Every structure is written in C-alpha cells, then in structure tokens.
Amino acid sequence: MDDSINWNEFSEVERIKYESNFLRGTLLESLSDPVTGAIAPADTQLSKFHGMYQQQDRDLDKERKRQKLEPAYSFLIRVRLPGGIATPEQWLQLDRLSDQYANGTLKLTTRQAFQLHGVIKWNLKKTIQGINEVLLDTIAACGDVNRNVMSHPNPAESDLHREVYEKAKAISEHLLPSTTAYHEIWLDQKLIADSKKDIEPIYGDRYLPRKFKIAVAVPPYNDTDIFSQDLGFIAIVESNRIVGYNVTVGGGMGSTFGMPETYPRLGDVIGFCLPEQVVQVAEKIVLVQRDNGDRKNRKRARLKYTIDDRGLDWFKAELHKYLGYELQEARPFRFTRNGDQLGWKQGGDGKWSLSLFVEGGRVRDAGDFRLKSALREIAESFDGQFILTGNQNLILANTSAEGKRRVNELLKKYQVSSDQLSGLRQNSIACVALNTCGLAFAEAERYLPLLITKIEEILQEYDLFNEEIIIRMTGCPNGCGRPYLAEIGLIGKSEGHYNLYLGGNFNGTRLNTLYKETLTENEILDELRPIIADYAYNRQEGERFGDFVIRKAYVLETKEGKQFKH
C-alpha cells in the first residue's frame, strides 16, 4: 500500500476501494457475522461492485425503532444482462429465486437488468449461486465501473438487432473488472495460487471515480435514451448495414436539490467510428474519465462534469491521444421516438415479438392480474427470448406463429391485457423509490399508476386518452427513471410533494424545464388540466405535448444542462 497518498484529497470511497484488495474488503467476515443483518459500512461500498446494495425496509423503520430493533436490513441484487436478453430458462430461474430468497417479485430496471429485492444477508450467497447456475452474474451491475450496457431491444423493429446486441455484449465483457474477488466470495472458487495478485488493467486499484454507463441505439429508435448515457453509440445504417457508430459523450441524469453545480446533461456527439473500433473507443473514453474524473467530490465525479469543467475540445484532444487516431466526422442520423411501441410485430425473418407493458417494471401477481404466473407458464415452453427494454417493459421475442398463439392464450388465462392502456400509461416510467430505496424522498413506483388514472380522467374529457405522452416519476432527483427527458416529469421533493417539469420531447433529445415546485396531487392535477385543455384545442397538426408547452411558452426550452434549474 502506498503511504504517500494524501487521502484528504480524495473522497472516503476512494480509500475504501484502494484498501479493499481488489474489492474483497472484509466481505467474508461481514457475511459470517451472526449478530447483525447488515454488513460493515466499508463493505456496503464494495458489495455494489458485486451487484448488491444493502437496504432496509423503510415501511418498517418506525416500528423497528420503537421496538429497539435494528432496521429490517436486506439486499437488492442486480443481475447484469447486456442488451437485456435472457433465455426462458434464465427467466424461470430468476422467477424461482425471487420466490425462494427475495420478496416474490422481479423488477425489470431502466437499464434492461433484473433486480431482486429483499434478500437477507444469509441468503445472498445462495441467490448469487442460483443466478450463476443459469450462466448469469451480477458483476459490475453497480459500483464505480462500467454498468449494464444497454442496446436497442426489439428484433422485430430492426434486422440489425443481433449485431448491436453483440456489440453491447462485447463492450460489457471487455470492461468487466478482472478481479477474482467475486468468484472467491460468492462462488467459493479459490485463487489458483495464493501468490497470484489481481491486476485491473483497465480500472487500476481505485476503479473509476464514479459509475459509468454505456448504450447503443439504432435510429430512428431512441429506446435506450442515448443522450442520457456517459457514452453512447448511435448505429449508422446504410443500405441496411451498420457502417459504423456516432459516438456521444457526457450524458447523465443525476442531480441533487440545493446543489446547482449538479445537473442533468445531454451527451454531445463527438464523431464517428467503425464497428471494429467500438470496443477500443469505449475503453479509451473510460480511461480518460478514470484519469481525469473528480475523485474528491462524488457529487461531481461523472464524466459529464469532467467535460463541462475542462471543455469538449479538451476531451476530444485527450481521447485522440489515448486512441492514437481521430474519430471521423459524425454522420447524419434522426430519432423519431424514445420509449417502446407496445404490441405484436413481425420481424423480417417472419418471427413474432410482443412488447408487453410492465407497469413500473414490477413483475408480480396482483389480484386477478397474474403477470408473474403468466410469464412463468409462457417461459416453460417458449421458443424465443425474454428481452428487457430500457423502459421497464418486456419483449417476448422471436417466436413462431404457434408461439404467438400460445402467448396470447396464456396472457388471457392470467388476465394480462394491454388493450385498455392510455397513451400516457404506455409511456410511463417510475423508479423504485419507497419502500426499498434509501434515497427516496417520495413514492414513485407505488404511486405513479394511481396518479396516471387521475390524469387519464382529464385526458378522456379532452379526447386525448390515446395520445402518446411521456410521463416519468422518480422519488428523488437522482434520475433513475430518466425523468428529465420526459414530456411530463415528476420528481419527489418530500412525502406527497413533487416538482413538475415540462417540455422534454418525444424522441429524448431535449431536457425538460421546471414548471412548478413542491406540488401535492391536487395541485399537480390543477396545473395539468388547463395545459391539457389548451393542448387539445390549440395544438398544431402532429404536434407533441412536449413541443406544444414550449411553443406556448409554459416553459422555456432548456438548451444545456448547466442551465437546468431544480
């Protein structure tokens, strides 16, 4: 260990990473400590790199405190799934694990990954081993490393799906940490020789200053919200062939109330690279951030701030140094929408894919609506894949005509239907928030469906029930549901109170703008009603809600992240 490092110049997490012996820390001791359901504080930082977060059931906090008990600790486990593709066998295994060790639900995340919630410390290892049995892992699903790599999910909407998926997978594999700590701790695989020392050729001994996120998109679909990513690759298609990718850098959603130096930011397009250069470009951009990102202030440690602090020209010059060549000039592209188009579609190869709405990404049985049971029975005989989208939905992909018939039959049997969904609900995202997220100020996943029902009444009145409008809610400004890109964004301020943001656009290329602060439900509805009425009567042909509110000056357009106000 290097005693010459002045740790005052770094955040506490930097020291924890450095002293962890490549992410081991005291995790083994923590796991075997019978006295508490928690792990040691430093280990809570390290466990993230292994794909798990320590949480507590916030619904039970008061009662546990009253009874002088420690909080009801449990863990969320996030499964890495580049491009969101799982086999039916993998789905069935996660379904089983969710019942056996977690809270009985599966969460499909905004980055095409699975989450299990409510796993107690003593079941962590068994759950990870169960995940491993179906050739999945949770490595680097969280932590200061590259996270789950997203890609355009729908095979029926693009013949190039397989190719971008392979690209996403290759980036993900290349940027995995190489420490053997995960295999040692969770899978009981010992190091080959005790003397063997881990090295992290890409990350080094302190990993990245902060999380890092990458996605691939295929225009005209911006279903991975490419401009919200630290690094994005936009496929450039000519004569139905991917000739290369435009590269975007410096996107990010996270921000903190009361800290104007933190803000959401859209990525900049900085050039074009050939398909065979993608993995190298990704690596070098990660290295520029590794070497230049802020390691003292974690609130400003993302690539977006490195770029804003030093300038885009500096970043490009630095990247070119690391690469040894310059990116080519960016090529033209056009996005027409973000989000998912629900329903059945037939791909070029004749196979069928169903994009199925999963409210808040939560797969569970609720009364007569038995989504979890339906998907379990479908998986038992499905001949295609289960693909998670970046909008918390699920595609039952690449099935035959007979498979399609059976899926329809089973969805009917378990009363799962998307027929009556409003255009607003179809385009909704809510982050997890309460009861598990320790950072939530207000509800999101448990509340947005109810609020939407009330907004739908207004939309019905003005004959806008089927109008597609993007609405996203998060329980805090960290932005896990990418709310700053929504046409209607709601961000939790305190229990029952939300900031209302308007003016994002339908293709995910514009940030929204704060309209009103700290609103209750009635206030939200009162604010939205006249705007919706105005939209119904005065919109121009084909004009989207987000564009309308800007044309009518309900809000001014946010032109860049630095301008953004909470």
Q: Both tokens of residue 312?
A: 């885009």
Q: In what order do the strands lie in the sheet with 114-119?
A: 52-56, 73-79, 114-119, 106-108, 362-363
Q: How far is the CB of 476 from ligand SF4 (least distance, A)?
A: 3
CA-nearest of 311, 398, 393, 310 to 352 is 398
Torsion angle defined by CA atoms of residues 76, 79, 85 and 88, in that order, rounded to the nearest 10 degrees: -80
Range 442-501, binding ligand SRM (CB under 6 A): 478-482
The answer to whether 53 contacts ligand SRM (rule: CB under 6 A) is: yes
Query: What is the rounded distance in angstroms from the CA atom of residue 487 to the CA atom of residue 507?
Result: 10
Query: What is the rounded distance in angstroms from the CA atom of residue 185 to the CA atom of residue 190?
Result: 9
Torsion angle defined by CA atoms of residues 266, 267, 270 and 276, in that order, rounded to the nearest 10 degrees: -150
Cβ closer to ligand SRM: 13 or 270?
13
Annotation marks residue 482 as catalytic: no
Annotation marks residue 121 as catalytic: no
Annotation marks residue 147 as catalytic: yes
Binding partner at 474 among ligand SRM, ligand SF4, none, C-beta below 5 to 8 Å by kind: ligand SF4
Q: Pick one of 97, 136, 175, 253: the residue that binds ligand SRM (CB under 6 A).
A: 253
Cβ closer to ligand SF4: 255 or 306?
255
* Closest residue to ligand SRM: CB criterion: 254
Question: Where along the sequence are the contacts to ligand SF4 (CB under 6 A)?
Answer: 431-433, 437, 439-440, 444, 474-476, 478-480
Q: Pick one of 11, 93, 115, 172: the residue that binds ligand SRM (CB under 6 A).
A: 115
Question: φ, ψ for residue 180 (rounded to 5)?
Answer: -90, 10
Q: How far is the CB of 475 from ligand SRM (least distance, A)?
A: 9
Cα dist from 150 to 108, 115, 314, whole Å: 13, 15, 27
Q: How far is the CB of 300 from ligand SF4 (least distance, A)?
A: 17
CA Rg, the chain, in Å?
23
Q: Which stretch binds ligand SRM (CB under 6 A): 14-22, 172-180, 232-240, 251-259?
A: 251-259
CA-nearest of 142, 211, 199, 286 to 21 is 199
Annotation marks residue 431 as catalytic: yes
Binding partner at 121 among ligand SF4, ligand SRM, none, C-beta below 5 to 8 Å by kind: none
Annotation marks residue 370 as catalytic: no
Q: Write the CB contacts of 368 (distance below 8 Å, at least 6 apart in sequence).
A: 415
Q: How many residues in the shown chain lie near ligand SRM by CB under 6 A?
A: 30
Range 387-406, binding ligand SRM (CB under 6 A): 392
Annotation marks residue 162 as catalytic: no
Question: φ, ψ for residue 161 (rounded to 5)?
Answer: -55, -50
Q: Which stretch binds ligand SRM (CB under 6 A): 57-65, 106-114, 193-201, 492-500?
A: 106-114
310: number of Cβ within 10 Å: 13
Long-range contacts of 443-446 (CB under 8 A, 24+ apart): 443/475, 443/492, 443/495, 444/360, 444/473, 444/474, 444/475, 444/481, 444/492, 445/360, 445/361, 445/362, 446/360
Query: At which residue do the structure tokens 């190719």 appear?
Result: 163
Query: What is the rounded distance in angstroms from the CA atom of residue 508 to the CA atom of residue 523?
Result: 26
Cβ closer to ligand SF4: 479 or 504?
479
Cβ closer to ligand SRM: 467 or 487?
487
Query: What is the rounded distance in angstroms from the CA atom of residue 490 to the CA atom of residue 471?
Result: 8
Q: How far is the CB of 481 from ligand SRM (least distance, A)?
A: 6
Annotation marks residue 273 as catalytic: no
Binding partner at 476 among ligand SRM, ligand SF4, none, C-beta below 5 to 8 Å by kind: ligand SF4
Annotation marks residue 437 as catalytic: yes
408: number of Cβ within 10 Å: 12
Q: How far is the CB of 361 from ligand SRM (least distance, A)?
A: 6
Q: Pick one of 45, 93, 98, 109: the residue that binds ligand SRM (CB under 6 A).
A: 109
Q: Which stretch binds ligand SRM (CB under 6 A): 85-93, 110-118, 319-327, 493-501?
A: 110-118
Catalog residues that contact ligand SRM under the rule CB under 6 A. Answer: 53, 55, 76, 78, 109-111, 113, 115, 147-148, 213, 228, 252-254, 302, 361, 392, 431-432, 436-439, 478-482
Residues involved in catalysis: 78, 147, 211, 213, 431, 437, 476, 480
